[in-house]
Structure 1
Amino acid sequence: CWLTYTNAQTHKIIMDNIDRAPMANGIIKGIGPRYCPSIETKLIRFPDKERHQLFLEPEGLHTNEVYVQGMSTSLPMDVQIDFLHTIPGLEHAKVMRAGYAIEYDCLDPLQLKPILELKKISGLFSAGQANGTSGYEEAAAQGIIAGINAALKVQNKEPLILKRSDAYIGVLIDDLVTKGTSEPYRIMTSRAEYRLILRQDNADQRLTPLGRRVGLVKDDRWERFTRKMAVINETVDLLKERKLNPNQETLKLLADNGIEEIRNTISLYDLLKRPDINYDKLKEIFGLPEINEEAKQQVEISITYEGYIKKQLEQVEKMKKLEEKLIPESIDYALVANLRDEAREKLADIRPISIGQAARISGVSPADISVLMIYLEQQKRIEETKNEL
């Protein structure tokens, strides 16, 4: 990629023709994506900026096409050619395809269940940018979940709902169906409260068993996964078993390899928590078995960050208890005494499937959740008494 910038001449051409830009002249009224505004929107929003950064991104190894990142526009073709030729590096550029404007619209995702089925139309699933998201990955993420759940529904099997602690897909769908969206939604790490465990290196540990349950992981892939997990577990067990005593021989061995001395008996597992030590170093010094890079990475991460990961898993466990407290689909929130009107309205509209989801609805307070839990407990006891009679 290359880096270039707009300049005063670029800005003059754009502003002289701003009345011809639907993104700026009021023809398009919808809210666009927050993170990639058009160049004309940027000039209006940041009039003090003398230049705007552009990335020139090659479209592929076998083409001369280059994408101008940061220059999305709704201006007519003749204006686009004029202002592009004012940019350093693009003086003689030919336009393969013009930039164009998009006006966003979507279904209200609050109409959807967490399985991406419409609440009011059984068997109709919705996925993709139609649900209010922006971005191909977000669309694909919904597509696979909607497809899985449509297939499970016709087989009368339990649906697949990824929790916020399972995957970024879980965060994305929960945000959409619980909070809705007023602008094109894009998933970001900052939206996930459990991002310490939603890592790239452990995606297989989190999701392969779920994929296996719904029939998407075939035997060969499952075998590779279980073999890898066996290596990780055996390695962790070995590191815990191997103890080091602070005798002269051990202290000399550590000193010769540039490792700070130990004062008490510790395991290689605990030694690996030190920032200057990795598995390869321990393998070389103590004759540990060779393991593949993926397994090595997961062993090192799980041990080095064990304390932080443990705290996050405790948070997940607390939330899991709330997620397991299911709310009957038939509940009539009008009958729940002492709920605030706003909470009653939001709960009746969104119809959360669990106390955990209810607690994440904007406008539903912890006090409302307490009232709801008391009501559900009372209803449960009434039902139990009826059954006894």
Structure 2
Amino acid sequence: MSLFQDTYDIIVVGGGHAGCEAAAAAANMGCSTLLVTMNLQNIAQMSCNPAMGGIAKGQIVREIDALGGYSGIVSDKTAIQFKMLNLSKGPAMWSPRCQSDRMRFAEEWRLMLEQTPNLDFYQEMVSGILTEGDKIIGVKTSLGVVVKGKTVILTNGTFLNGLIHIGEKQFGGGRAGESASFGITEDLVKLGFESGRMKTGTPPRVDGRSLDFSKMIEQPGDVNPSKFSYSDQTKALTSQRSCYMTYTSQGVHDLLREGFDRSPMFNGRIKSIGPRYCPSIEDKINRFADKERHQLFVEPEGWNTVEFYVNGFSTSLPEEVQFSALRAVAGFENVKFFRPGYAIEYDYFPPTQLKHTLETKIINGLYFAGQINGTTGYEEAASQGLMAGINAALQVQEKEPLILKRDEAYIGVLIDDLITKGTEEPYRMFTSRAEYRTLLRQDNADLRLTPKGFEIGLADESRLKRMEYKKEASDKFVTFFKETSLKPEEANLVLIEKGSSPMVQPDKMYKVFSRPQLELSDIVKFEKVQAYISENDLDNEVIEQAEIQVKYAGYIEKEKNHADKVNRLEDVIIPSNFDFDKIKSISIEARQKLNKIKPTTIAQASRISGVSPSDISVLLIHMGR
């Protein structure tokens, strides 16, 4: 008698952020889904910092929510602080971030998954995959249990042959206190997959009762906090916990340097590459030797716990070196450790081996999501899990896949970068990676993606109606600005106060509002605007959306036009059996890269490193264009 039903539509391996989003998406789209993880008590663990969002990452969380994923809702329900970053810059740079209650975050994810229909759970280590020819048929566990599946999504995080380093000590593990996973890498390599090794790290966790916060700079949340989810399921915070900031010093750096000869990063034991934009403290003081100090952010791990996360002090130095150096930091003179920082090496698979659906090119029905693809970060992992879950479900349902373009979502940029360019170091999303960031703002993720989520059966009707109301109300508000005139006597008091030239004759409010000196807080001082907002009962989300549409109309239109031109090349499909070797007039490097990545469109081919514009011209000619 089998432990499981005959064949699941989708088997998700791993219960981290990617695995949770994949399982939720697949099950909510009506597929019979099994989530297999090594420890059900550790679902959706925040292995590193207890926070969601941040620059570009916050946009991804909002996109996940707009499509019908769970990360935004869970983040809102378990937040202890909320901030909108980069408010001094334009709206394309605004990025939401929340500090999370680590224990509550994992609990909320677990409870939401347990309430999701079509989703089963099993606690065991998956030690291999089962295939027939070039198709996946299931997985096998370390106890020899076989589970059949039409599709399999691997979201193994840092567990594949994971190796933890603390000074001279090293031991197998997927994260502190948990064992590594063995067998899957070996199966995949036998099937012809290329694998590699990457590294990441984490700081010490400390006892807040031993810290002197009076010597640090308090970092409170926003006065009027927002939230991630567009849905009515969550509310903005009414109270918040503060974070704190302090600095290292030359004395701290000197103490750290004393342990460099025992650091696995410097003595050659760690050979893999770590995240460039989240370096360890020893890497920072080595690479930036001219810097006298570095910021450390001291972050609470929850509402009630005394555990704190020392953001900016990621390290794999011996624990006694970590301890003595941290005690030299202002406010940490009497610090007590909960646990030291460590580095971890793990297997990953270069993502050029994937299609844009995140299905592998070698094995049909097998999908990769998260750190197995060479990314770093909860948000990057969760978005891949969501898209893998969606596309696996659509494949089972024999429907067209959902592939987000670069002008449609940061998620589209992330996946296209991975598939087209690959990565040799942990990939992290930044606003600078998106060429259409004026279009891909955090405020309009619902307008961009909720219709797509609704169409595939993931975002419900209430979300769609809420989005439609927001669009209609903000469009009407913009029309009001275009059609309503202001007299000089109505506007000049505000204009002079803001250092803008006074009006000499009546003008449309749209033109007045577009002046760079004026902000929304100035515009709402006009009686006509106050009356319109009151009569139409407009909320802040609608008002903000209208403001952006007025103030940045020229930039938005320019980016849309550029995206439309590029998207014409997205429509030029390269046949799957196209023989690039026949084109002798393109460079050897271009031919090699095109053969390896096998782009599906001319636009994708143009983004491959080593493929020049002249190579694309030749390719278009050979395709009869």
Q: TM-score, normalised on structure 2?
A: 0.56
Q: 1:355: Cα distance to partner?
A: 0.7
Instruction: Note closer, same or farther for the CA distance 1:236–1:85 as it changes in structure 2 (3 Å cut).
Output: closer
Residue of structure 2 in register with 1:335 after alignment: 582
CA contact (8 A) 1:24 1:40 kept: no
Deviation at 1:176, TM superposition (A): 0.7
Q: Secondary structure of 2:543's partner?
A: helix
1:139 aligns with 2:381: yes
* Mapped pair 1:366 → 2:585: no
| 2:601 counterpart residue number | 354
Deviations 1:66-114 (A, max 9, x none): 2112221112223322332232321221110111112254101110111
Give the one of 6, 16, 32 matched to 2:274: 32
Q: CA distance change for structure 1 residues 308 and 8 in 2, over 3 Å: closer, same or farther?
A: closer
Match of 2:420 in 1: 178
Q: After the TM superposition, which of the residue ranges 68-77 and 177-186 deviates more from structure 2?
A: 68-77
2:524 to 251, 273, 280: 280
Q: Unaligned regions of 5+ residues in structure 1, if any?
A: 245-249, 379-389
Q: 1:1-389 to 2 correspondence within 5 Å?
A: 1-242=243-484, 250-255=487-492, 260-261=502-503, 263=505, 266-275=507-516, 276=518, 278=520, 280-282=524-526, 284=528, 287-288=531-532, 289-290=535-536, 291-377=538-624
The alignment partner of 1:24 has SS state of coil
Q: Give the distance between the partners of 1:159 and 1:211, measured in 2 at CA.
A: 12
Distance 2:492 2:253 in 1: 64
**2:546 alignment partner, SS class:** helix
Q: For the residues of structure 2 that align with 1:292 and 1:370, how far apart are their CA atoms?
A: 50
Q: Secondary structure at the match of 2:610?
A: coil
Question: In 2, distance between residues paired with 1:71 and 1:280?
Answer: 45
Deviation (angstroms), 1:256: 6.6
1:362 is displaced (CA, Å) by: 0.9
Kindly state the Cα deviation for residue 253 of structure 1 after the two structures are TM-superposed: 4.1
- Taking the aligned partners of 1:47 and 1:236, their CA distance within structure 2 comes to 52
1:41, distance to aligned residue in structure 2 (A): 2.4
Check the 8 A contact 1:31/1:104 in 2, yes or no: no
SS at match of 2:266: helix
Structure number with greater Rg is 1
Distance 1:104 1:35 in 2: 18
* Superposed displacement of residue 43, structure 1: 3.4
- The equivalent of 1:247 in structure 2 is none
**In structure 1, what is the Cα distance between the partners aligned to 2:291 and 2:559?**
42
Q: Which amino acid aligns with 1:268?
A: M
**In structure 2, do the counterparts of structure 1 residues 136 and 257 end up closer, same or farther at CA, with 3 Å as the change threshold?**
closer
TM superposition shift of 1:274:
2.8
Distance across 1 between alignment mates of 2:530 and 2:492: 14
Distance in 1 separating the partners of 2:407 and 2:458: 21
The SS at the match of 2:623 is helix
Judge conservation of contact 1:133–1:186 (CA < 8 Å) in 2. yes
Report how far residue 312 of structure 1 moved: 0.9
Task: Verify the 8 A CA contact 2:355 2:419 in the aligned structure 1.
Answer: yes
Q: Secondary structure at the match of 2:286?
A: helix
Distance of aligned partners of 1:277 and 1:69 in 2 relative to their CA distance in 1, 3 Å threshold: closer
Residue type at the aligned position of 2:528: E
User: Identity over aligned residues, as a percent?
Assistant: 52
Structure with greater contact order relative to length (CA < 8 Å, sep ≥ 6): 2
Who is 2:215 aligned against? none
Does the CA contact (< 8 Å) of 2:408 and 2:440 recur in 1?
A: yes
Is contact 2:524-2:530 (8 Å) kept? Answer: no
Q: Secondary structure at the match of 1:3?
A: strand
Partner Cα distance (1:64, 1:286) in 2: 46
Instruction: Tell me which amino acid in the other structure corresponds to 2:280.
Output: S
Query: Cα distance, 1:335 vs. partner?
Result: 2.4
How many residue pairs get matched? 372
* Structure 1 pair 271–83 and aligned structure 2 pair: CA distance change class (3 A): closer
1:42-76: CA deviations, max 9, x gaps?
A: 33334444443322222222121121122211122
Question: Offset at 1:337?
Answer: 4.6
3-state SS of the aligned residue for 1:67?
strand
SS at match of 1:96: strand
In the aligned structure 2, how far is the partner of 1:123 from the partner of 1:175? 22
Runs of at least 5 residues in structure 2 that lack an aligned partner in the other structure: 1-242, 497-501
SS in 2 for 1:22: coil
CA distance in 1, matches of 2:438, 2:590: 31
